[in-house]
Amino acid sequence: MELNLIPIHKLIFEIRGQKVMLDSDLADLYEVETKNLNKAVKRNMERFPELFMFQLTEEEWKLLRFQIGTSNRGKSGKGGRRYLPYVFTEQGVSMLSSVLNSKKAIQINIQIMITFVNIREFALTNKELSQRILELEKYFTQYAKDNNSEVEKINEAIDYLINIRKPAQIGFRINDQ
Name residues whose C-beta falls within 8 Å of residue 73's C-beta, 6 or more positions apart in sequence: 79, 80
In the predicted model, is pLDDT for residue 155 greater than 60? yes
Total length of the chain: 177
Vertex 113: Cα angle to 110 and 115 (nearest 5): 110
Q: How does pLDDT run across 8-39, given as a tens digit for each residue?
A: 888 889 899 999 999 999 998 888 899 989 99
- Pairing relationship of beta strands 12-15 and 86-89 according to DSSP bridges: unpaired
Return the pLDDT at 73. 45
Q: Which stretches of the chain are DSSP H helices?
A: 23-30, 34-43, 58-68, 90-99, 103-146, 148-165
Return the pLDDT at 2. 44
Return the pLDDT at 115. 82
Amino acid at 153: K
The pTM of the full predicted model, rounded to 2 decimals, is: 0.58
Q: 138 or 77: which carries more pLDDT confidence?
A: 138
Of 92, 114, 124, the residue nearest 23 (C-alpha):
92
